[in-house]
Amino acid sequence: MIKSVGQGISAAIEATRLRESGKTRSAAPAGSATASSTESASPAARMAAQGAPVDLDRIAAIKAAISSGNYPVDAAAIADRMLALDLPVAG
């Protein structure tokens, strides 16, 4: 089943809250495996652990535009991209 835009945004906001609440917990002791693995992790691994950046102001602006009916939707462009994702490339 496809989630509505509101459900997807709510899930993203909740994930951000959970991630942020994890940052406020006390840090693991210096000798623990978690602390040492985080320090020696590659930059890519550290970025992945932080999760995707979420611009909550942008999300709120889009939600407000959708609610007021001022969010432009190009149905033809959406349909074209959906078909492009599902059709195999001929070659």
**Which one has a higher pLDDT value, 88 or 35?**
88
Task: Examine the pLDDT at 3 and tell me if it is beyond 50.
Answer: yes
Q: How far apart are CA 56 and CA 19, in angstroms?
A: 14
Of 53 and 13, which is predicted with more confidence? 53
Distance CA 5, CA 15 (A): 15
pLDDT tens for residues 25-77?
A: 444 444 444 545 556 788 888 888 888 888 999 999 999 999 999 999 899 99
Q: Which residue has the higher pLDDT, 67 or 88?
A: 67
Please report the pLDDT score of residue 1 as a whole number: 46
What's the angle, vertex CA 17, arms to CA 70 and CA 43, rounded to 5?
105
